[in-house]
Structure 1
């Protein structure tokens, strides 16, 4: 095993997906560098997530895994990685693929031989207590980046998120963002979608928010499957630009960076805004583990006994008195007022 000075250690971060989780994990390389300033940091991720990592000054190499390559492709990639002589491996994903990597890179790990290793706990018992028995033993408030950094404390790494920015879209992606935005650069970006319906603020609320801000232009972001976003644009088509499905992840990130602020459901673009240090309003509903981490974000939420009700907001809604109350009770008037205050902040 290659022996290295602690200050020039060689780290491997394992995080394949998803969009929001990868973006939150982007704080880890900089946190490592604070303790190990001369460390070399590698990261293995899914091929479609790799562009999010590019240009990060504290990531020296990105290993891209193509899901089409299957298990044999992953093993082949791991055999190449074995030649790197990693001194520290952080499994920030904790799934079967990440375990395969750790088995190949640490074949004698069970004997304590090989690179230092930490696997982020999924905390299954705590989740069972929370979602099944309504007993919350998690540290409050929920904080996504803290939960990713906390496992690294045995290596002397702080659980405090490094200052933004921690995502670095390329100049090319900013150029493309300026092209698609045109005169909408500097508008307020909206992210009305989310992986699960129960994490979405109601469509008609987005429409009403736009109408409550008659002097403001808006840019709508989402995926190609988010056809409902066109209905939101219809509230005021003369001052709303719909970019849903028209931008890559990097270009969407650049759009957020070129906006005056972002209003978002609990979804990946929320974390992009945080990692850019962008002014953000987060509409937080049923899920606990993607909570914002930075003071630049204003969190809007409704305290309810039934909340949080599921890991990802996949449902069903368990509120016996009012369906989807955790988001329905956040009113467009409240969000419009928060937006006005947010845009006025730091203005001369």
Structure 2
């Protein structure tokens, strides 16, 4: 396959997975430095990737897009891009991908059976050293040109955002070194117990001189259950 001039990376949700997807994004940028690389995600997650140096343009889609719109997107993508990298392999991206017939596609394969056994049967068949970044890179092997390094994840944070956070922390009495914990998750099976967090926090507070900052949305009830 010749070097693609235009690449579309797809990862629609959620926050953690989108952040993890910046690792293969870095690999693609290193492999194809002159290519235009766009990133498709759900509109409400797009701010996470704003001003990211590895992304030329963020392609935003709404969670409620009808099937007809997704198909139209696929038709347009088939014209506009030379390579599509689907790091989600969800129903939405599959509908889009079915319309991509003339361009190359690389698709992330989910370890559904291993994940089912781990969650439902508590049987861990994942190999030692398994991580999501490496799994994402498996689908990139046809274009990695022998590269074996797995880059770290990256985000772009503006000085304005940093200043806003410092101001917010000071307003809440946090002006020393701190540890940030985000206990919420999109799926209940990914949420650790409040007691587990309490035990870890108790140890951290005893052994370090750091504050603990818990971050979450109004939907993350786990945050209210953790007593420090």
Say whether 1:220 aligns with 2:211.
no
Instruction: Describe how 1:1-348 pairs up with structure 2 within 5 A.
Output: 6=3, 9-84=5-80, 86-106=81-101, 114-127=102-115, 134=123, 136=125, 138-156=126-144, 158-163=147-152, 166-182=154-170, 184-185=174-175, 186-194=177-185, 195-196=187-188, 199-201=191-193, 202=195, 203-205=197-199, 208-209=202-203, 212=206, 215-230=209-224, 232=226, 235=228
- The SS at the match of 1:57 is coil
Q: Give ranges in structure 2 of 5+ residues lacking alignment.
A: none
TM-score, length of structure 2 as denominator length: 0.80
Unaligned runs of 5+ in 1: 107-113, 236-348
Q: Quickly say closer, same or farther: Cα 1:206–1:227, change in 2 above 3 A.
A: farther
TM-superposed CA distance for 1:32, in Å, is 0.7
Q: 1:132 to 1:210 in 2, by over 3 A?
A: closer
The 1:159/1:230 distance shift into structure 2, 3 A limit, reads same
CA displacement 1:230-279 (0-9 Å, x = unmatched): 4645x4xxxxxxxxxxxxxxxxxxxxxxxxxxxxxxxxxxxxxxxxxxxx
Q: What is the CA–CA distance in structure 2 between the aligned matches of 1:52 and 1:35, rounded to whole Å?
A: 24
CA spacing shift, 1:207–1:37, aligned 2, 3 Å: closer
User: What is the Cα deviation at residue 178 of structure 1?
Assistant: 1.9
Shift of 1:141: 1.8
1:263-303 per-residue CA deviation (whole Å, 9 max, x = no partner) reads: xxxxxxxxxxxxxxxxxxxxxxxxxxxxxxxxxxxxxxxxx
Displacement of 1:41 after TM fit? 0.7
Cα deviation for residue 14 of structure 1 reads 1.2
Alpha-carbon distance in structure 1 between the residues aligned to 2:87 and 2:148: 14
CA distance in 2, matches of 1:176, 1:79: 41
The answer as to whether partners of 1:90 and 1:117 remain within 8 angstroms in 2 is yes
Secondary structure in 2 matching 1:38: coil
Superposed CA RMSD in Å reads 2.9
Are the counterparts in 2 of residues 207 and 232 from structure 1 also a CA contact under 8 Å?
Answer: no
Superposition deviation, residue 215 in structure 1: 4.1
Structure whose CA Rg is larger: 1
